[in-house]
Amino acid sequence: MKLLVSDYDVNLINDNNMSEFIVKFIGPSDSPYEGGAWRVRVILPDQYPYKSPSIGFVNRIYHPNIDEASGSVCLDVINQTWSPMFDLINIFDVFLPQLLLYPNPADPLNPEAANLYNKNFEKFKEKVRDHVKMNASQEYFDKIKQQTKNNDKNQEEQKNGHAHNHMNGNDHKEDGEGSELSETSDLQGLDGEDDEDIPMGSDEEEKQQEAV
């Protein structure tokens, strides 16, 4: 797969699953999406390459043919251009740049964006740039990176804390068992002394009776 050895930033979601991964995609120049960066999720179907892959934007993008909430790209748009002869790198080199440069408002997944694109292209571009700034800028990626770093740190601290508490619990348990054994031994010792006194008293009484 050419995509994995290309200049694109590709991350497998599961190291044991080559059919699902995230690719960092940069918005094409000379478009309202210029300067933006998106994490694009790619899922390969069992029938790949005869069936087109599923493509979805992880961070939000404002586009007539992309669902703003889910990030899904219109399948009709993909299927119209897909061929088994294509490699996945064609999606990021050709398909997605063309889609962002030349939307098809006649087949929308975001009707609001399609309507604005048709009626007021300048306002459409302005709204796209606002979305890029909020959801696809370097500042956005830095924020996500910091959140991921903090989450990893918290998970590590919780893991270490749990292990420490577990060790302390075992120490307390061992101390408790030792005390219990000690108390039991003391009780057994006292019982033994009582048991020895009883027969000794009985032998003395028998001797006195014989002497009489």
Whose tokens are 């459409």? That residue is: 124
Question: Residue 184 — pLDDT band, cuts 50, 70, 90?
Answer: very low
Query: Has residue 117 got a pLDDT over 60?
Result: yes
Whose tokens are 């300048």? That residue is: 122
Residues 80-111 pLDDT 10s: 778 888 888 999 999 999 999 999 999 899 99
**Long-range contacts formed by 5-14: CB under 8 A, 24+ apart:** 6/89, 8/89, 8/92, 13/41
Residues 132-141 pLDDT 10s: 999 998 787 7
Residues 8-59 pLDDT 10s: 889 888 888 889 999 999 999 999 999 999 999 999 999 999 999 999 999 9
Count of positions (residues) in the chain: 212
Q: Give the Cα separation of 151 and 116 in Å (integer).
A: 39
Find, among 195, 176, 154, 64, the residue nearest to 117 by Cα: 64
Catalytic residue (one of 37, 44, 61, 74): 74
Residue pair 58/43 in contact (Cβ under 8 Å)? The answer is no
How far does CA 11 lie from the centroid of its chain? Answer: 13
pLDDT of residue 108: 93
**Architecture of domain 2-136 in this structure:** Roll (3.10)
pLDDT of residue 22: 94
Residue pair 70/41 in contact (Cβ under 8 Å)? The answer is no
Q: Give the Cα separation of 194 and 197 in Å (integer).
A: 5
212 is annotated as an active-site residue: no
Domain positions in the chain are 2-136, 139-212
Query: Has residue 3 got a pLDDT over 60?
Result: yes
